Structure 1
Amino acid sequence: MTTISEQHVIAAAGARSRPGARRKRATGLGSAVTRWVGIAIVAIYCLAPFYWMVVSSFRTTNDLFDTTLLPTTWSLESYAQVFDSSNDFGRSLLNSLIVAGITTVLALILGIFAAYAIARLKFRFKSGILAVIIATSMFPGIAVVVPLLRLFTDIGWINTYQAMIVPSLSFAIPLAVWNLTTFMKQLPQDLEQAAMIDGCTKWQAFTKILLPLAAPGVFTTAILTFIHSWNEFIIALSMANDPAIQTATVAISKFTGASDFQAPFGAQMAAGVIVTIPLMIMVLIFQRRIVEGLTSGATK
């Protein structure tokens, strides 16, 4: 049994601990509030331009320079201008999809094999080769436009899809190799060896064991590669001057207003919204696959 003095000691200790607990809860609440405020600031900073683009696309031409948060009069006038028959913007979207899609597929195919070789094989100057690969993607696009323009003119590639796909691959493949190499190095090699002990060939171990586990890295790389190819401008502008072959980014830059003295800001805002929609869809689709791959683990 506890004596009266012991009860006083316990009560005093509890009284001293309660302020400390309250201070700890207050500190935790303050850090949570700070964290969420920081997230809100970053989100507003990143989404504000896109929000203003969406809002401006629904304004009338006369209200385009209003500073209200919402349009005073909602209108689809700008979207009608985008899909005007003279712009042929639908064809430009299809061209962008073809160029970005083919570039992404080829970059993934070549990048997966190159990354697997770098991650699994042992050879000299591996780090130097990887550094050279990533260094090639640091050159600005304008640096390769002039020599490629001369080359493609000689071989008759101007105004063709391959004139835009091949230069885009020179920047997409290094990005794919770098991302996939980093990811494949984290995958345990024991899984492939166990599969080969169970009767799989090297190719079967690669396709049935490694690739499913590498799905998060593959889909993340696909997102980055597709976005890079979809947004590419300088190469597409230089290699294709035929309106039937130009991409969406080039088509937007060539929009004209009602007169020579009027800039087509409304149509450009609406076209920007339309061009962003496929990227949002791609991110949502691949994001789900990335989460599935990360949560499945090596026991899948």
Structure 2
Amino acid sequence: MFPRPIEKASKGVNISYRIALVASIVLWLLPLLAVMATSVRSLGDINEGNYWGWPSEWMLIENYTQVFTSTPMAQYLMNSLIITLPAVAGAVALSTLAGYALAKYQFKANIWIFATFIAGNFVPFQILMIPVRDLTISFGLYDTHWAIIFFHIAFQSGFCTLFMRNFIVGLPTELIESARVEGVSEFKIFFHIVLPLVRPATAALAVLVFTFIWNDFFWALVLVQSDEVRPVTAGLSALQGQWLASWQLISAGAVVAALPPVILFFTMQRHFIAGLTLGATKG
């Protein structure tokens, strides 16, 4: 029923597994290494076609400094923070409340509302492009931070509610019932009993949603057009000129844009792993 551990497999399978593992890691890291190498090359190296060789001139400080002095990269990063932080807070807060209601309250429409949240995850977001754009224009939100914030809160709530409901449903119902018997209000039960118990799951969800929203490119193009509001993902594409592209600056900007999610993951790594493994074992 369960796969046999790789250590117990034959010697040929073990060797093949290790070769495939190394090859997969190399293939996965190759584009990242190429971007990082390009970010420290000079424009002459790139024009000469030296994409994979050793840089003839290291431009580490110059390129990364020029990204902030010659482009609106600082504004793009600030826009991404202004968009991502409220969107993550709103999506996690709403989904935790909805997940608690769907997990611990029994009412007739429970299963249908839960099915609606699940079904929303399967809607291709591309087909929402024109309706969402027209809706933001009619509300006067187009080309503002709020347009992307509201959309991400709405769109991420389906996955987040499914995520949190599955964790909260495993909490002992007797614990909640005993608090109700003592006369504790529902909001106090949620904030003082349920929320502390699912804190690792909330942290894991926040890291995932932060990564999703920070790396979003499609809706940054659809709902935003000015540099004053454009997040970093769309801002990187704006660095490419019509006739000439400074690939060393674009690559340096891509490395800078990738740092916040990476830093957040390693900062919250302990909570992230604990959240993903919460409820994985019983006993």
Measured against the shorter chain, the TM-score band is 0.7 to 0.9
Of 235, 247, 251, the residue aligned with 1:269 is: 251
- Whether the 8 Å contact between 1:141 and 1:234 is mirrored in structure 2 is no
- Whether the 8 Å contact between 1:175 and 1:225 is mirrored in structure 2 is no
- Structure 1 residues 264 and 128 mapped into 2: Cα distance closer, same or farther (>3 Å)? farther
Residue of structure 2 equivalent to 1:248: 232
- Whether the 8 Å contact between 2:201 and 2:274 is mirrored in structure 1 is no
Which SS does the other structure have where 2:43 is aligned?
Answer: coil
Distance 2:23 2:196 in 1: 37
Distance 2:208 2:202 in 1: 10
- Structure 1 residues 75 and 238 mapped into 2: Cα distance closer, same or farther (>3 Å)? same
Deviation at 1:45, TM superposition (A): 3.1
Deviation at 1:165, TM superposition (A): 0.9
Deviation at 1:66, TM superposition (A): 2.2
Counterparts of 1:176-191 in structure 2, within 5 Å, are: 176-191=160-175
Residue of structure 1 equivalent to 2:190: 206
Deviation at 1:97, TM superposition (A): 0.8
Deviation at 1:113, TM superposition (A): 0.4
Of 104, 107, 114, the residue aligned with 2:91 is: 107
- Structure 1 residues 68 and 148 mapped into 2: Cα distance closer, same or farther (>3 Å)? closer
Alignment root-mean-square deviation, CA:
2.9
Of 119-128 and 35-44, more deviation after overlay is shown by 35-44
What TM-score do the two structures reach when normalised by structure 1? 0.78
Residue of structure 2 equivalent to 1:59: 41
| Identical-residue share of aligned pairs (%) | 27
Distance 1:219 1:27 in 2: 36
Distance 2:221 2:171 in 1: 41
Of 271-280 and 179-188, more deviation after overlay is shown by 179-188
> Larger Rg: 1 or 2?
1
What TM-score do the two structures reach when normalised by structure 2? 0.83
Equivalences, count: 270
Of 102-111 and 35-44, more deviation after overlay is shown by 35-44
- Whether the 8 Å contact between 1:137 and 1:170 is mirrored in structure 2 is no
Distance 1:165 1:56 in 2: 33
Distance 2:222 2:131 in 1: 11
Distance 1:69 1:197 in 2: 71
- Unpaired runs of 5+ residues, structure 2, are 1-6
- Unpaired runs of 5+ residues, structure 1, are 1-25
- Structure 1 residues 159 and 209 mapped into 2: Cα distance closer, same or farther (>3 Å)? same
Structure 1 residues 1-55: Cα deviation after superposition (integer angstroms, max 9, x where no partner): xxxxxxxxxxxxxxxxxxxxxxxxx957947766655543443333222222111
- Whether the 8 Å contact between 1:141 and 1:235 is mirrored in structure 2 is no
